[in-house]
Amino acid sequence: MKPETKPSMEELLREAGPLVHLDVLDNLLNQARARSLWPLTFGLACCAIELMATGAARFDMDRFGAGVFRPSARQADVMIVAGTISRKMGPVIQALWEQMPPPKWAIAFGGCTIDGGPFKYPNQYAIVEGADKIIPVDVYVPGCPPRPEALINGILKLEEKIKAGKRFQA
Ligand code: SF4
């Protein structure tokens, strides 16, 4: 009769991993991720002016851990799509999104990025009717343009989602 062998430490860890390690670690990482968002420095049209105002001294996105705007998509983890998306810019936005490392999140900021806004009409051919037609969107902030307070509210909503582990982009 073959003697019963004890499972190796590696096997034990592999079995226990999904039950023990990931839950606690993911929870800790989510708390850290939510309070250290690095937005991509990026704007498309008038809503981008409101985005800039939100980052400046009066509204100060740093208070919410989201003020470190990165000039490279490879260093950013949140894309705030601000402004009308022309069909010409659609592939550029997708390329920037692909360059961002996971986990990553997107906010559609303003009417144009939600559904085309004032530029949406039958048979129009110039704009993309919503950021979610080209990338996955986590939070929508309506308005034309939305106020900086609305963007801050959107960031707080995103932070809630991240802390709750509700979504992780691949
Ligand atoms: S939603 Fe309004 S303010 Fe924002 S980019 Fe569109 S037209 Fe400009």
Provide the pLDDT for residue 114: 97
- Specify if 170 maps to a domain: no
Parent domain of 157: 9-163
Task: Check whether 168 has a pLDDT greater than 70.
Answer: no
Pick the residue whose CA is nearest to atom 5 on ligand 1.
Answer: 83
What share of the chain in percent tops pLDDT 90? 77
Provide the pLDDT for residue 27: 87
Over residues 54-68, mean pLDDT: 94
The CATH code of the domain that includes 147 is 3.40.50.12280
Residue at 71: amino acid letter: P
- Specify if 3 maps to a domain: no
Provide the pLDDT for residue 170: 43
- Specify if 40 maps to a domain: yes
The rounded distance, in Å, linking the Cα atoms of 63 and 110 is 22
pTM score of the predicted model: 0.85
Task: Check whether 135 has a pLDDT greater than 90.
Answer: yes
Q: Is the CB of 49 under 6 A from ligand 1?
A: no
Q: Is the CB of 144 under 6 A from ligand 1?
A: yes
Q: Is the CB of 111 under 6 A from ligand 1?
A: yes
CB-based contacts of 47: which residues, under 8 Å, 6+ apart? 82, 83, 109, 110, 112, 113, 145, 146
Token pair listed for 120: 């949406």
Three-class DSSP category at 27 = helix
Q: Is the CB of 130 under 6 A from ligand 1?
A: no
Q: What is the pLDDT of residues 1-34, one digit of tens each?
A: 556 677 777 676 666 655 555 678 888 889 999 9
- Specify if 156 maps to a domain: yes
Q: Given the structure tokens 């704009």, which residue do they identify?
A: 127
